[in-house]
Structure 1
């Protein structure tokens, strides 16, 4: 096989790997491509430059906005580097809704992770099913933390087992994200996240969704909660009027986080 032909075959295999999953590491690619890590990284750089794939922290992913990319839920480590400015602005607004002494439920997800970091030094009680959230609060926080029991599901970073009873916890506010938001409500691609969210939604006075505007373009597989169950959605300034009206028509309060670049 010629050098050029070998490169074309490697590129084909890299793209084929992303047809089966939304994210792949160099180690994953070494399992299917007979080449050195350095060669694979050069291939990744070329495909990224051509817009065929996207380099992200820890590996590669599908390009943003492609139909295939929209169908998949991203692993926590990949998702945490996307739309960081919008997520941070949303998290800052969410923090202002919390009063010292509150009992909160903070679900998994990267926006909730940023939000939890802002709460770390507050006088709050936080229940979470997110290993990254719990680890961050343990390392740098003083707030009271209760972690869900069960098995660790590494890709979403969630701790959950169907046979493990949830602690007897009740919260004034339940903060969560979603893979997608549409007329059918909150949506996820993993059935596990549906079960987790349904159980926790019964244990809070208010349900507050932290979701950047890109989530309104995603149609995931499983409906989680109907729009009418949501109290508030905090999002960014790229939300369209039609999307905002969809929420408001169901009685949802819409809070748009300020764009720090235009403040």
Structure 2
């Protein structure tokens, strides 16, 4: 392990012990310059292990081990999808945001916004990610917590969603096929379907590995209010199904 990697691990351990440590304190503790610590924090922030704060950082808490493992996959593709989705939100002031690895990348991109934004989410990780931006007001939806997915669900969650409407919902899914988008977590898929119903437009974030796969529960069919944001063009049959439903597609590499 390199000296830098060792220092990164020690920084994470130090933040576990004391989340209020500042850059100058970390610099003194590890005997390196403040600029070196800032570069270290930038790397750890990009990797999703911390959240930067003014003058320091806080350690990110990951509740769901399955999500933590998925965050290591398709990182470049998912980050490009997140950036492309962010570019579609001009003028939007309220969002439903789901959970999952691609959506958590989106939350990390979203927290850079400098304008006010109201967010409703069933995901603890998304809520924590966005909470570092003081311009964002976060409503963490009520419900039963599922630790494997880091989401709340159940009657209370669905009832809360039904009380609100938003211009846009941003969701991740398990499968994309000719019928639409689907999810493997039954209770989570019900929450996402409710968000689709309560929003005027839904951005479905999915990398190409989800194409031509069908998960257990339908979330959305291809309709004009559905917008797929992905990293590459679907195959002919899937593209034609999306077009037939008057849904939209944004391919990240073409949106730059």
TM-score where L is the length of structure 1: 0.65
Secondary structure in 2 aligned to 1:234? strand
Q: Give me the whole-angstrom Cα distance separating, in 2, the residues matched to 1:238 and 1:194.
A: 24
- Listed one character per residue, the Cα deviations across residues 53-83 of structure 1 (whole Å, up to 9, x for unaligned) are xxxxxxxxxxxxxxxxxxxxx9312221111
1:83 aligns with 2:77: no
CA RMSD of aligned residues (A): 2.3
Write the distance in 1 (CA, Å) between the matches of 2:145 and 2:80: 29
Would you say the 8 A contact 1:178–1:187 is kept in 2?
yes
Q: C-alpha displacement at 1:232, in angstroms?
A: 0.9
Q: Secondary structure at the match of 1:207?
A: strand
Give the corresponding residue for 1:135.
128
Q: Which residue of 96, 99, 104 maps to 2:90?
A: 99
* Deviation for aligned residue 1:238: 5.2
For residues 159 and 200 of structure 1, do their structure 2 counterparts lie closer, same or farther at Cα, with a shift above 3 Å needed? same
1:28-58 residue CA offsets vs partner (Å, 9 max, x unmatched): xxxxxxxxxxxxxxxxxxxxxxxxxxxxxxx
Pairing 1:147–2:143 present: no
- 8 Å Cα contact 1:106/1:175 also seen in 2: yes
Could you tell me how far apart the structure 1 residues matched to 2:233 and 2:246 are? 21
- SS in structure 1 at match of 2:128: helix
Which deviations, in whole Å up to 9, do the C-alpha atoms of 1:217-247 show, x marking residues without a partner? 3221222222226521111125334322221
Of 206, 209, 232, which residue of structure 2 is paired with 1:211? 206
Matched residue SS, 1:166: helix
Instruction: Identify the match of residue 165 of structure 2 among 148, 151, 170.
Output: 170
Q: How does 1:245-256 map to 2 (within 5 A)?
A: 245-256=240-251
Distance 1:230 1:78, change over 3 A: farther
**1:209–1:230: 8 Å Cα contact kept in structure 2?**
no
Instruction: Give runs of ≥4 in structure 1 deviating > 3 Å.
Output: 139-142
SS in 1 for 2:211: helix
Shift in CA distance, 141/256, structure 1 to aligned 2, threshold 3 Å: farther
CA apart distance, 1:187: 1.3
Q: Find 1:126's aligned residue among 95, 102, 119.
A: 119
**Aligned-partner SS, 1:108:** coil
The runs of 5 or more residues in structure 1 that have no matched partner are: 1-73
1:111 paired to 2:105: no
Q: How many residues align?
A: 188
Alignment CA distance shift 1:90-1:141 (3 Å): farther
Q: CA deviation at 1:141?
A: 5.3
1:43 maps to which residue?
none
Give the greater-gyration-radius structure (CA).
Answer: 1
Q: Which of 226, 230, 233 pairs up with 1:235?
A: 230
The separation in 1 between residues aligned to 2:221 and 2:242, in whole angstroms, is 11
1:15-54 to 2 correspondence within 5 Å? Answer: none
Alpha-carbon shift at residue 98 of structure 1 (Å): 1.3
Unpaired runs of 5+ in structure 2? 1-64
Contact 1:94 1:234 (C-alpha < 8 Å) held by counterparts: yes
Separation in structure 2 between the aligned mates of residue 239 and residue 141 of structure 1, nearest angstrom: 38
